Structures are given as C-alpha cells and as structure tokens.
A and B are shown apart, each in its own frame.
Chain A
Amino acid sequence: MKWKNLILLASIMPVLNSCLKSTDNLSNSKEKRFIAEAREFFDKFTTEGGHIIVDYKSASPRTVLWDKAETFQVFTGYALTVPLEYKLPLFAKTEFTSNSIFHLNDLTELLVYCDSNRRFHLEVLTKLPDTNYLKDPTGTFSGFVLVDDWWGNNLGKYLLEHGETKSYHSSNYQAESIIRTCNYIYGYNYSTGDPGGGYSWVQAGGCYFLYLPDRVDDIHGSGFSGRLGAGGGGGSSGNIINVPVTPPGNPIANMFDYMKCFTNVGGNDHSYTVTICIEQPVPGTRETYKPTDGGPIGSSDAGNIVDVGHTFLIFSERYGNTTITRNVGFYPSKGVTPRSPSATGKLNNDENHSYNVSASFSVTNAAFFSMLVFAARGNDPSFYYNLNSENCTTYALQTLAQGGINLPNTIGSWPGGMGCDPGDLGEDIRNMAPLPNMTKGTVQNFHPNIGNCQ
C-alpha cells in the first residue's frame, strides 16, 4: 500500500494545501459509502462525451473490479484503488527489467480519491517494477509508476526507489527512451461463439516508447515520501507481480515469448519475410491425401495410414548481420480423422518439417506484425483445429491475408470431408503468376530457427 500513497501524494500535491485532512479511521460503513460514491462518480465521469482516447490500452475493453476495491486514508480524505481487468490479453515489456513480460492486469489499477472540496479524481496507475522489486516482491515497491487519466492522457510519471519518490517532468530536454511497451503479439480478441468474427488489432508500430526526459527530483522526494510512507494507510505491501515463465519446446507454449526476438522497425534497415511452406501428400499433384502403399485404404495391410500433408509458415527478419527466423505450424493437439475432425489447436515449431513447395514474401514491418498477431491465435485454448474448416492450410492462408497476401484457396475433397489442402495450395502456387515481392520455391532448404534474445 505504501507505494500507492507515495504516488497519491505526488499526484495531488498541487492541491494539497486546499485539501481537508481527515484523521478519522474508515469504518466499514464509511468505506462502503465511499466506494459507492466513487463508483457513482466513475460511472458518470467515464460516460461523459467529448473525450478522445489516446492510446490502445485505454481503448481496450476493461472491467473495474469494484468488489476488490481497497480503501485507505490520505491527507486529503479518502482514497481507494481497484484492480482493472482487460478483456484482451495485453502484455507489457520493460527494458529495465531484462525484457520481462508482464500481464497488464497485474500492473494496472484505478485510483479514486477526493480532494478537500469533496471533488473526486480518477486516475489509472500502471506500475512497472524494476529488477530489485522482482527479486523480492514482498518488499516495498520500486520501479516506475505511470499515472494516466481514463482516456490515456498522461498525468505524470514517477520513479520509486529506495523509499523515495521522484517525478519525471516533461521538458524541452532531449528525450531518452526508457520504456518500451509491446502488445502486438497477443493483440487480438477471439470470440468462441463467433470464430470467424474475431477482431485482430495491432498498435501502429507494435511497440511504443515512453520518452522519459532527464530526471528531475521534484519536491515530492525523500522528505515527503518518508512521511507518507510511515503514515500512509497500512495494508499489504505484497503486490506480487506474476511474470510468465515459458519453457522452450516443440509446441509453442507462449507465442509472445517465441516471437519476442523480432523487432518492429520501419524503413529500409530491417527486412521482413514470410514464407509459406507446403508438403504435398503426393508432390506435384493436387491429391488431397496419400494412402500408404501397403494396400488400399481401409485394409489392415495398409495400416490405414493416410498422409494429408502439411502447410506451415516461416517468419524471418534481417538487419545488419542479424537474422531472426521462427517456424510456426498449426496442428490439432491430438490425432484427428474425418470422423473426428476437430481438436484444440496448437502451434508447433516446424523447423524439422519438410516441404516441397514454398512462396516467400517480402513485407513491411506493419504487415509482418499483423500476421504475427493473427498467428498467435492458434494457441488460444478456444481456437479449434478442424480438418475441414480450420486446418493447417486454412490457418496459413488466413495469416498471410492479415498481411495483405491473398493466395488462391482451392477447396479439395477427401473421403468424409473437404476444405483447403496442401495438395491444391502447392499446385496453385506452382502455377500462379508471381505476386509482387513473391519468390516461389520447389526445393527444400534447411530452415532452422535462428537467433536468440533475452
């Protein structure tokens, strides 16, 4: 709770002299009344017209978890903090914590307080812990705290370290990029009830930078923070930050982690390539499946083996002497058949998969990251693989379409089903006139994942 008080003090210091100082302890009834009043104010305030939302996280649907409100007492009266829950899985990354990835739900909360004139104020606090805090999350919070209004307008930035509060002021000094926030990987909204109507979004540039100019220790430094820290409303100091840990593996457990080495940079220094790779069941034909040669399909001699081929994608970025490459293929999580064609989807690292037809596309950074955003949905637990309607080929074509690449999608058929298929897609690519920035291939190259980053 201590850090909240520090920030609150820093936030409201300009009106500190005019605030009434409350010394009453908050009783249960007062707490409830204050929460009710705050909620009423919030509902009215946030539905007012005339406001412009200035950033994507503020534009994302979010819920205020009022039942988890914590009230506390400050110089000017009462205050409360409430967790915010974003409906989209938004993640943030900071460069000063070794690129740790945080779920925005763990970082953000709403602060409501009233000033001496009983006027409510509403702010969204985003706390970005530093490595010291991550080492011991039960201790006093240290790191940056961003203070925004409900629509994303920044009201202040504060650094909390060693029990002190320091404010970062906008100034004419040349800005230094300190914080990079990325959420382009999981930036999508998938509706279980409307699988085709999922909404993908990407923030321009993928990552955005918060420019924090030269640091200026303001008047809310050690002296005030010390006083507030000692007298501020108690509560728990254990704001545990959940940092996802993603083990490496063939199945891509966390697409954000898998793709984190890619950088979203415009201009000519960085080149981006997406390659669709197809292993046709019978190379050079439109056959949608290949029975084993041991006997006819359905015979025990053949083992009933039917190969349907596969389609997958290779994402690659190059700059200077650096190359980053990642293979991604969409599969069912368990074996599927025409009788049982559906299963939860799963993204796999396909660096060990062969192919006999490919098409590579040079794309812009924006198109590249739009495709990555879409590709990530393959790991959503509610996103199902279906042999007919959402198979590996469908998924690859849909992903390319997000980047403006529209390939033919001939529908093939097989006993018990029909849909996009590697056989037809391979022949479509082989026979089509090349699209702009497209290179066709019919020889397999070694295509391991390349490039590591922290």
Chain B
Amino acid sequence: MKPILLIISLFLYNCTVGQTISFKMVKHWKLYDIASGNLFQYTIDTLKKFAYYDLDDDTMHEYLAEVSELPSNDPPRWMGAHIATYEINGATKKIEISLYGGFFYDESSKRHYQLPDNKIDDWLSYIRRSFMTIHKESSDSKIISGK
C-alpha cells in the first residue's frame, strides 16, 4: 500500500508544485531594485519593501511566449540575477532572471526556463534598462533625502 501512497503523493506534488507555467497567461510583472545578497532567499513579503519597476505585460508576453524548460538535473550556473514577480490567479510568484544566457528560474514551479536564442539579446537589454531605470530613481531619491 505504501508504494501507491508514494506515487499518489508524487503525482499531487507534481500537479501543485512542478507544473510548467504558461507565461502567456500571467500579468502584473514587477522588477525589483535588489542587486545584492542572496536573491533566492528573498521572500515575496520582503519584496514589498523594495522599489520596483512595472514591466510591460505585453512585452513580457512577447518575450516569454515560447520559453522552453531546461533539464532540472543540471541547470546552468548563475552569474548574477535580478528578481521579478508576476501574478497568476490572484497569487504573486517570484522568479530570478539570469544576467546572461536568457534563462530564468521560477520558484513556484522550481524550474528553469530558457528564452529562444533570437530573443536573448533584446531580453537582456530590456531587463537591464528596466532595472537601471528603477535603480537610478532609487539612488537619486536616496541622495535627495539624504538617506
């Protein structure tokens, strides 16, 4: 009986946690002004304390329309990332966006996704520009307020 329970448990786990996300359906993308520390440790509640930049939903849908899932047993090494969130069915989910290679990690599904080769350069540029916009605003406001 125990093996059956184990199989059912794994099935349910896969249904709830390991589900591949269709990023065409999600919205309210936000990119956070966090550049240091262990980015994978920030909780969604913690992110609310940070300044963020509203990423354009249509633009994100275009970039993420054809992402592919990367093998989970040997995902790429990380060399820097930005944090973003999106909303689906009223819930906020967090992802980390790699600063190279056009891949990202979705924490809710615990999976790596890869953008198509022909979109990587533009994607990286879009993320960088968006981050620099909010980062510059944050830096300026800190200077102005003397913080």
- Residue numbers of A with Cβ under 8 A of B are 248-251, 253, 279, 289-290, 292-294, 298, 300-301, 303-310, 331-340, 346, 348-354, 356, 387, 392, 444, 446, 448
A–B complex contacts, Cβ < 8 Å, 22 sampled? A249-B125, A250-B127, A251-B121, A251-B124, A294-B40, A303-B105, A303-B111, A303-B112, A304-B72, A306-B78, A308-B77, A331-B79, A334-B76, A348-B99, A352-B128, A353-B80, A354-B35, A354-B36, A387-B77, A444-B36, A446-B139, A448-B132
Q: Per-residue 0/1 for B107-147: is the Cβ within 8 Å of any A Cβ (1 yes, 0 no)?
A: 10011101001001110110111011001100100000000
Residue B29 CB within 8 A of the other chain = no
Q: How far is the CB of B21 from chain A (nearest CB, A)?
A: 14
Interface size on B, residues (CB 8 A): 42
Within 8 Å CB of A349, what residues of B? 128
Residue B11 CB within 8 A of the other chain = no
Q: Cβ of A448 and Cβ of B114 under 8 Å apart?
A: no
Chain B, Cβ-Cβ closest to A308: B77
Q: Cβ of A339 and Cβ of B100 under 8 Å apart?
A: no
Within 8 Å CB of A353, what residues of B? 35, 80, 99
Within 8 Å CB of A248, what residues of B? 125
Q: Cβ of A300 and Cβ of B72 under 8 Å apart?
A: yes
Interface centre among A289, A292, A335, A392 (most CB of B within 10 A): A335
**Number of residue pairs spanning A and B whose beta carbons lie under 8 angstroms apart:** 122
Majority SS at the chain B contact face:
mixed
Q: How far is the CB of B134 from chain A (nearest CB, A)?
A: 10
Q: How far is the CB of B103 from chain A (nearest CB, A)?
A: 5
Within 8 Å CB of B73, what residues of A? 298, 304
Within 8 Å CB of A251, what residues of B? 120-121, 124-125
Closest 7 CB pairs of A and B: A335-B76, A331-B100, A250-B124, A354-B35, A250-B125, A249-B125, A354-B36
Per the bound structure, the CA–CA distance linking A333 and B121 in Å amounts to: 9
Q: Per-residue 0/1 for B93-108: is the Cβ within 8 Å of any A Cβ (1 yes, 0 no)?
A: 0000011111101010
Interface residues in B36-67 by Cβ distance below 8 A to A read 36, 38, 40-41
- Residue numbers of B with Cβ under 8 A of A are 35-36, 38, 40-41, 70, 72-80, 82, 98-103, 105, 107, 110-112, 114, 117, 120-122, 124-125, 127-129, 131-132, 135-136, 139
With A250-B128, A300-B72, A306-B77 given, is the CB distance from A335 to B38 under 8 Å?
Answer: no
Q: Cβ of A352 and Cβ of B131 under 8 Å apart?
A: yes
Chain B, Cβ-Cβ closest to A291: B40
Q: Cβ of A336 and Cβ of B77 under 8 Å apart?
A: yes
